[in-house]
Amino acid sequence: MVNNFQLPPMGFGPGSQVEEGEDLEYMDMPQDMRTYSLHVPEMDEMGDVSAALEMMEQISRACAVAAETGIGETFDLSGLNAENRALMAETMGAGEVAMKVRGIPAVAVQESVFAGVWGLKAAGVDKIEVGRVPDLAQSRAHEPFRPALLNDAPRTVGVVNAPSLLVELIDKSKTYTLGDVPHVVNLTLLPHTEEDLAWLAQALGQGATEVLSRGYGNCRVTATALPYVWRVQFYNSMDTLILDTFEVTDMPEVALAAKEDLEDSAERVKEVLEAIR
């Protein structure tokens, strides 16, 4: 039997419209997306900064080489005097990606405004490294900060699907070879409990490297103590977790400077030098 009665379309009818004199309320929109803009340091009160300018030329060339070959280069800032260091600091600025690498020495990493140009600071360390990612962040990544208990992690009521996920991650970790396509376990799409997540955190432990990428929202990348296994979590601009994954790879793509980024950085450093001179 055909029913001629139709429901009214959504958004119409009593109560669906704003009363006269009442303000409309809108959902908050994302804010503060970073974009690059050329910054030229003030040179009026600086003395001889030729050493810093020469280093910038070398950094520009190193970006081009890294984009072409994947081979990075490191520059030691400890030999620069105060004026040259100040110019380098003002020119490099702070970009979207920060890292901490635990160990001896513990190293703080800050990407500059030029993607793929990284500042490294630690006890006795003051360097700039050019490359897709600092070497230490990758070579030390899975050194245990908290050891991986694997199947010895104590199980509590509510641990349901985590053990089967652990079996999968252990298998992929053992068989992964550098350069393989990353294997992704998308927790957002899989049924799991809070107890599952807590158990996996104990089972996988925590490695030495932690990455925070701030862009259109945030991304947190944490190395586990199981080789090649990373926790990658994406948050929107309102800091709500929207994607939660494990990746089996040498370094998650979100933490790497792309070939195109390094090519852009080579040109942008040149632009700053030309503007200064």
What type of residue sits at position 238? M
* pLDDT at residue number 7: 45
- Note down pLDDT in tens along the chain; length 277 residues: 444 444 444 444 455 455 555 554 544 444 454 555 566 666 556 678 999 999 999 999 999 999 999 999 999 999 999 999 999 999 999 999 999 999 999 999 999 999 999 999 999 899 999 999 999 999 999 999 999 999 999 999 999 999 999 999 999 999 999 989 999 999 999 999 999 999 999 999 999 999 999 876 799 999 999 999 999 999 998 889 999 999 999 999 999 999 999 999 999 999 999 988 7
Report residue 164: phi and psi, to 5°: -70, -35
DSSP string spanning 102-117?
-SSS-EEEEE-SSTTE
Distance of CA 193 to the CA centre of its chain: 26
Which CATH number, 3.40.1170.10, 3.40.630.30, 3.30.1370.140, 3.30.40.230, labels domain 50-132+258-276?
A: 3.30.1370.140
Which CATH number, 3.30.1370.140, 3.40.190.10, 1.10.1040.10, 3.90.1720.10, labels domain 150-255?
A: 3.30.1370.140
* pLDDT at residue number 40: 60
* pLDDT at residue number 38: 61
* pLDDT at residue number 136: 95
Q: Do 50-132+258-276 and 150-255 show the same overall fold?
A: yes
Residue 182 DSSP code: P
DSSP string spanning 62-129?
HHHHHHHH---EEEE-TTS-HHHHHHHHHHH---SEEEEE-SSS-EEEEE-SSTTEEEEEETTEEEEE
* pLDDT at residue number 21: 55
- Paired with 152 in beta bridges are none
Which uninterrupted H or E stretch holds 198? helix 194-204
Q: Please, are residues 112 and 60 in contact by the beta-carbon 8 Å criterion?
A: no
β-pairing, 97-101 vs 107-111, is antiparallel
Spatial CB neighbours of 40, under 8 Å, sequence gap ≥ 6: 272, 275, 276
Q: Domain boundaries in the chain?
A: 50-132+258-276, 150-255
Residue 248 DSSP code: E
